[in-house]
Structure 1
């Protein structure tokens, strides 16, 4: 088995059929080890053999959980994400955004920005990684963000025909990487808070 997903089946469906063999704690341990190793050696040098050795499990165990390296990395990234948008509902859009910021840490944002930058570079050369990152990491968060914005529309905070509404995901997904490019250093929670109040919320007339 080479672990590739060449037949066009979605990575999320593969995960649903393969998972369930590990305890939640063991799966969390594997995800943490995958990212630790990824930070040490980079995506190209990361192998299933190295992960198996680091986590003291067999390659067969890894392949029972993931279709291959791209899916393993993407899910590990999502698992270790410091803040998940799903479940955040404070009763106001600004409150929801600030609840996210309150859970961020400067050190974690620095580590995550560097990791994401490296993975995005690797994704240019590895379309399977790009697809896995999009399906398992980006799309779930964009979906949760759309639900958050939808609640704001239902509450009457944001008009459904506000021009900026459809651009919020783009503004937030690219925030950390754009800040790194513009200022040569990662964004921190204080910057994110100012950005929300100065750019995102005004664009929604909030």
Structure 2
């Protein structure tokens, strides 16, 4: 889809408005009408640029995610995880965690949203995490045949979902650091 009519600044504005609305009303309550009103755009422009609500939401989430996992390389896996955790403040983590829980519900009823999220957000994140873990294997920190390597994404997503459910507390940097040190790194033999 051609996106040349929007400046990068305007596109960024639209993405931030989608994220704000998503946090306010959830995915099911999010409408193209509401996005158009919030951004002073026409629905026709939104559909021309993104084609569908799932595509716009997925692109907004990708734009919203400032951390590029693959670019993190501190020289150690523990350092890489600490850098990754340190790049998002506690307020943003809480907001992202709530958004993830809402989207988890929405994707169960919307295969188009799931596909868009996989293509635009999940697969790039998995690729980046895979690169971080490959470097740890190359450095000799993790055994190449460690069965936990394939489960790191599951462990990390589990932390975001489980803490609010189990403890009724938001996810934060201190918890994630403790979780990585106590669960993820030991599972990897680090």
TM bucket (normalised to shorter chain) is over 0.9
Assess if the C-alpha contact under 8 Å between 1:52 and 1:59 holds in 2: yes
Once the two structures are TM-superposed, the CA of residue 81 in structure 1 deviates from its matched residue by 2.2
Deviation string for 1:55-99 (max 9, x for gaps)?
112223212321200011111112112533131111211111110
1:95-174 to 2 correspondence within 5 Å? 95-174=79-158
Deviation string for 1:2-61 (max 9, x for gaps)?
xxxxxxxxxxxxxxx433432221111111001111222222222212211211122232
Q: Give the structure 1 partner of residue 3 of structure 2.
A: 19
1:71-110 to 2 correspondence within 5 Å? 71-110=55-94
1:196 aligns with 2:171: no
Greater per-residue helix proportion: 2
Question: 1:203, 1:23 → 2: CA distance?
Answer: 45
Secondary structure at the counterpart of residue 199 of structure 1: helix
Assess if the C-alpha contact under 8 Å between 1:39 and 1:115 holds in 2: yes
Assess if the C-alpha contact under 8 Å between 1:43 and 1:122 holds in 2: yes
Secondary structure at the counterpart of residue 163 of structure 1: coil
Question: 2:10, 2:62 → 1: CA distance?
Answer: 16
Q: Give the structure 2 partner of residue 181 of structure 1.
A: 165
**What is the total number of aligned residue pairs between the two structures?**
190
The alignment's TM-score, normalised by the length of structure 2, stands at 0.92
Question: 2:86, 2:141 → 1: CA distance?
Answer: 22
Unaligned runs of 5+ in 1: 1-16
Q: Give the structure 1 partner of residue 35 of structure 2.
A: 51
Question: 1:45, 1:164 → 2: CA distance?
Answer: 38
CA-based RMSD of the aligned residues comes to: 1.5
The alignment's TM-score, normalised by the length of structure 1, stands at 0.86
Unaligned runs of 5+ in 2: none
